[in-house]
Amino acid sequence: NAGVTQTPKFQVLKTGQSMTLQCAQDMNHEYMSWYRQDPGMGLRLIHYSVGAGITDQGEVPNGYNVSRSTTEDFPLRLLSAAPSQTSVYFCASISVGGEAFFGQGTRLTVV
């Protein structure tokens, strides 16, 4: 069972570059989210989606875009990378019961 597949696992970007973090789930969940995790800050919600075509902002949305064209995929786009976006990013797919299944994470460094 694949569950949640998140790529890449590691990425180094230069300031100003853009990139897309990919997230795919095969559990047919309507709800998906993106989080970033920084030391001492826990997981902070960037964007979330309650179904295909529907997205909304979380706690820290600035500098990120998302789209949800299919139930399976929920990519996160960094428009113009900044050092403040250095973090570990997690994609989550959430069941109707509220259980979140996470991808393995992406360790992003912006230099």
Partner 1 sequence: RKEVEQDPGPFNVPEGATVAFNCTYSNSASQSFFWYRQDCRKEPKLLMSVYSSGNEDGRFTAQLNRASQYISLLIRDSKLSDSATYLCVASMDSSYKLIFGSGTRLLVRP
Residue 31 or 72 with smaller CB distance to partner 1: 31
Among 60, 92, 108, 110, binds partner 1 (CB under 8 A): 92
Closest approach of partner 1 to the CB of residue 68, in Å: 14
Distance linking the first and last C-alpha atoms of the chain: 36
3-state SS assignment for residue 75: coil
Shortest distance, position 95 Cβ to partner 1, whole Å: 8
Question: What single string gives the DSSP state of each residue in 40-70?
Answer: TTEEEEEEEEEETTEEEE-S--TTEEE--SS
97 near partner 1 (CB under 8 A): yes
Q: How many Å apart are CA 37 and CA 54, to the nearest integer?
A: 24
The contact set with partner 1 (CB under 8 A) reads 31, 33, 35, 40-45, 48, 50, 56, 58-59, 90, 92, 94, 97-100, 102-105
